[in-house]
Amino acid sequence: MNDVHGWLEAFDQALGSGDSEAIAALFLAEGFWRDHVAFGWTLATHEGGAAIAAFAADRALATGASGWKSEAPAGASEGYISFETALGRGKGYLRLVGDKALTLYTALVELKGFEEPLGTRRPSGMAGDPEGRGRSWKQLLGDETASYAAGKNPYVLVIGAGQSGLAIGARLRMLSVPCLLVDKYPRIGDQWRSRYDSLTLHDPVWYDHMPYVPYPAHWPVYSPKDKVGDWLEYYAGIMELPVWNSTECVRAAYDPARARWDVTLRRETEDGSREHVLHPYHLIMAVGNAGFAKMPQIPDQQDFKGTLRHSSAHPGGAEFSGKRVIVIGANNSAHDIAADLVIHGAEPVMIQRSSTHIVRQTTMTDVMLKPLYSQEAVDSGMTTERADMMVASVPLRLSEAGARATWNALQVSEAPFYESLTKAGFAIDFGEDGTGIAMNFLRTSSGYYLDVGACDMVIDGRIAVRSGLAIDRLVEDGLILSDGSHERADAIICATGFGTMAEWVSRLISPEVADQVGPCWGYGSGVRGDPGPWEGEIRNMWKPTAVPGLWFMGGNFALGRYYSRLLALQLKARYEGLPVEPYAA
């Protein structure tokens, strides 16, 4: 029982006996069973013997799991695993310490009888009209999109057709769940096209694949923003997603009597603006953390005579050649915008209100992501699916410990770089508890810059920095800082971030429902911006919420890719009327 195969055999027997204490006894006392949908029909990490026993008592027999397998070599203490349940097929990962499990990860990957139409299951493409009227493939697609304007209700309505909306749309499409996406922009990808010129993805291409359609081998390591926008537009076409563009969600309310939503949409078409009320059973918020601009209210704002705008309305530095521009904020967008201003011959001043976590692109790409998401990983046989599963297999408590160790080492190896930044007057941190960017992202999605070149400009002074200061007020030709100093500027760009998903709920549904749902994102780590209690999974994302039929989709490209499958399977099971009662501890 000292290897993966032996443990799985013992686990299979214990599950079959339904003896929850025997099951828990297979784990270390401080072990983890992270289950994503396969057993618990939600995303949850069960930590320690008591929690595992409780989970097992509720689910061991009911799930009907069997067929536990692993390709791990004999004697291996960890490896990928696969299994079946009564309803579906699962995969996961197991890590042993001695003969006990430190971590077991179980995830549902498909439902029996509802396998995706891939490979040998793909459609023929010929004689596509099921009713034999000779409608072409394109006409049938158009019919479907138009049907929702003619009174048909989608089973699922997705608000937002950025990368997250498109990912869940594609997953649902592959599972034949009727789904409509709506997006406020006229063209898919406009969220990206409308940003500042120098924007690229800050994660490398191997980490950023969308589901089903990987980037080809010539795709740049860091996708320029217009290329991202175009790719998303192509993606919607390739995946045949019904999307209403130029459509804003005005309001949404759940109708408990009919167990469905009343969603009012305002859609602009060539024929003018029209309101539609749709009644989907499920509503997915895929509006992102970058959905609406968070503009600070600064005293005497009206006095400033120059250009004042939010980063999301800033197309690039071309117009400011020779001008002095203040950038408020010191995270990703602030740095990108400042660097672009330098390139365009402007003189940027960055106002850093609190410390920032800085990660060099090379650190991210060549150290942190390299084992799983890199050309080397691909060339040595690592697939995106396995890489994603490996990441998901690590409980967040262990991720924290690993991240802390990584950053303890990086603070030493990268010390000269960080010292230069400090010397330039820039305030550095490594996360409140030293866990750095990965946890930072999962906690608050803010407070960091992935350095793609701006740090050198800070170090050599091309980007001036005023750090640790608040903004007192605006004046005619600039602003006054909290130390009384006057910064002159022709323009002020507020790289002050975006509203949260919970704020979206408050706006579109109601503040009461937003309260009922609680915070979306963060996992209860207890740091600023992510208060406890400890949750162990990202709050409210990709899983049932406190409001029936309300779901949240989001994350970066990698999280959206992986978790969209889990969300889609939960919805498909409901669509097919399968028993899917989520486990509640």
CA atoms within 13 A on the CB side of 143: 12
Per-residue binder mask for its own copies (CB under 8 A), 124-163, x = binder: xxxxx---xxxxxxxx------------------------
Nearer to its own copies, 275 or 379 (CB): 379
Q: CB under 8 A: which stretch of 339-347, 389-397, 403-411, 549-557 binds its own copies? A: 339-347
Which listed range, 94-102, 195-203, 502-510, 537-545, lies at the site for its own copies (CB under 8 A)? 195-203
Which residues are CB-neighbours of 219 under 8 A, at least 6 positions away? 205
CA–CA gap between residue 116 and residue 122 (Å, rounded): 8
DSSP H/E element including 439 = helix 436-443
Considering the complex, what minimum distance in angstroms separates the CB of residue 221 from its own copies?
5
Q: Binding to its own copies (CB under 8 A): which residues in 420-459?
A: 452-453
Using left for φ > 0, alpha for ψ between -120 and 50, and beta otherwise, residue 308 falls in beta
Within residues 479-518, the interface with its own copies by CB under 8 A covers: none
CB 138 → its own copies: shortest distance, Å?
Answer: 4
Query: Residue 550 is inside which H or E element, if any?
Result: strand 550-552
Separation of alpha carbons 313 and 354, rounded Å: 23
Q: What is the DSSP string of 444-491?
A: TS-SEEEESSHHHHHHTTSSEEEES--EEEEETTEEEETTS-EEE-SE
* Contact between 217 and its own copies per CB under 8 A: yes
In terms of CB distance, is 218 or 423 closer to its own copies? Answer: 218
Q: Tally the residues of the chain.
A: 585
Binding segment for its own copies among 27-35, 57-65, 92-100, 221-229 (CB under 8 A)?
221-229
Q: Is 380 in the site for its own copies (CB under 8 A)?
A: no
For residue 459, give the nearest of 494, 418, 414 by alpha carbon.
418
> Does 344 sit near its own copies (CB under 8 A)?
yes
CA separation, residue 297 to residues 199, 309, 492, 496, 515 (Å): 26, 12, 13, 11, 24
Q: Name the residue nearer to its own copies (CB basis): 220 or 532.
A: 220
Count of residues that bind its own copies according to CB under 8 A = 59
Give me the least distance between CB of 134 and its own copies, in Å please: 4
Q: What is the closest distance, in whole angstroms, from the C-beta atom of residue 428 to its own copies in the complex?
A: 22
- C-alpha to C-alpha distance for 41 and 571, rounded to whole angstroms: 10
Residue from 74, 113, 122, 302 touching its own copies (CB under 8 A): that is 122
Write out the two tokens for 541: 């994302």
The nearest distance, CB 78 to its own copies, in angstroms, is: 27
Cα–Cα distance, 339 to 320 (Å, whole number): 13
Q: Which is nearer to its own copies, 134 or 272 (CB)?
A: 134
Query: Least distance to its own copies from the beta carbon of 211, Å?
Result: 10
Query: Of the candidates 144, 150, 240, 234, which has an alpha carbon nearest to the alpha carbon of residue 192?
Result: 234
Residue with Cβ nearer its own copies (239 or 578): 239
By CB under 8 A, which span of 197-205, 295-303, 421-429, 442-450 interacts with its own copies? 197-205
Interface residues with its own copies (CB under 8 A) are: 116-120, 122-128, 132-139, 174, 197-198, 200-201, 205, 212-214, 216-227, 230-231, 234, 237-239, 316-318, 340, 343-344, 375-376, 378-379, 452-453
